[in-house]
Amino acid sequence: MSSNEKLLDIKDLVVHYETEDAVIEAVNNVSFEVKRGEILGIVGETGAGKTTIGLSIMGLLPKPPANVIQGSIKFNGRELLPKTPVPASAVDLVARRRRRREENKLKRMHRTIRGRKMTMMFQDPMTALNPVLPVGDQIAEVIRIHENVSPAEAVKRACEMMELVRIPATRYQEYPHQFSGGMKQRVVIAIALACRPDLIIADEPTTALDVTIQAQVLRLMRELQRKLGTAMLFITHDLGIVAELCDRCMVLYAGEIVESGTLEHIFDNASHPYTQGLFASIPNLEEETERLTPIQGLMPNPADLPSYCSFYDRCPVRTDRCKLANPELVEVEPGHYVRCIHAQLKKGL
């Protein structure tokens, strides 16, 4: 793959949340890329680090307590993270100043691309919208700020975006409380697409919707994504949504990628015990089953992660070898990566 096909390229990303009581290891050495125009699904349970990855890309991590320890995030070939490492000592004033200057420079750069070249959709449309502004003005504001157009032109384009997401432009002056949950989510989609960005990070945007409306919103998102050629990072805990919407899938557990590949790899040949456990927890309409098989136990405390495989305590196929070290993410077949000693041995690796 040539470099100009890569829109987003993340390497060895490590993010911690540091408090007086503990250091939360939220993201641990995560590497992946997103091509132009594709949809990559990120799946994982609550606390796996999905949203932290999205906020890192957008430059919206709360600092403090969040701290990017290391890694690289390149968007359209531009580095979004400081190259200066985090100072090992609080008394290293020169390194701290250098790091701070670089962070401030990158904040300014983020402001030039955030909302225009990349944007993020959040879980609850009600909290994402301003309750005291008409929805049309909220769409027009994004266009006016990032496209440097006149107020009249911004209103015109906002009306076009409303029609694009199938909201009549006559509802321009209505407020969020006058819309249903599905219609509010369409407004959020219109805001996200207002400047025709290259990348949208969708953080569980359909979680608050009922199943019927969720299906309508997903179809609309897929239709608009194909029409505009926008790449998407879709964060979810629902494998059904991944099957419906995504081109590739990445499974996250305890801040690490445990499996990634095409939909065929993940759905037809899931190799990591955690991924297999997720599928075993889903009802199968083609089989008669009295009880589902849940994954036993809980995800490890991110403030006290083990030095070995983080899924060890919950794994049904664990062996003593799994406690020796944390396994590497290995390519078990072309394009299919798995972080599991058991799966690698089955493939003869």
pLDDT, tens digit, 9 for 90 and up, residues 186-222:
999 999 999 999 999 999 888 777 888 888 888 888 9
Whether the pLDDT of residue 12 is over 90: the answer is yes
What percentage of the chain reaches a pLDDT higher than 70? 96
Whether the pLDDT of residue 177 is over 90: the answer is yes
Mean pLDDT on 163-179: 94
Task: Identify the pLDDT of residue 93.
Answer: 78
Computed over every residue of the chain, the mean pLDDT equals 89
pTM attached to this predicted model: 0.89
Whether the pLDDT of residue 1 is over 50: the answer is no
pLDDT, tens digit, 9 for 90 and up, residues 68-93:
999 999 999 999 988 877 666 656 77
* Structural class in CATH, domain 3-246: alpha beta
Q: How confident is the model at residue 41 (pLDDT cuts 50, 70, 90)?
A: very high
pLDDT, tens digit, 9 for 90 and up, residues 239-258:
988 998 999 999 999 999 99
| Domain parsing of the chain, residue ranges | 3-246, 253-346
Task: Identify the pLDDT of residue 83.
Answer: 81
The 3-state secondary structure of the chain, one letter per residue: CCHHHEEEEEEEEEEEEECCCCEEEEEEEEEEEEECCCEEEEECCCCCCHHHHHHHHHCCCCCCCEEEEEEEEEECCEECCCCCCCCCCCCCHHHHHHHHHHHHHHHHHHHHHECCCEEEECCCHHHHCCCCCCHHHHHHHHHHHHHCCCHHHHHHHHHHHHHHCCCCHHHCCCCHHHCCHHHHHHHHHHHHHCCCCCEEEEECCCCCCCHHHHHHHHHHHHHHHHHHCCEEEEEECCHHHHHHHCCEEEEEECCEEEEEEEHHHHHHCCCCHHHHHHHHCCCCCCCCCCCCCCCCCCCCCCCCCCCCCCCHHHCCCCCHHHHCCCCCCEEEECCEEECCHHHHHHCCC
Whether the pLDDT of residue 115 is over 90: the answer is no
Higher pLDDT, 45 or 292: 45
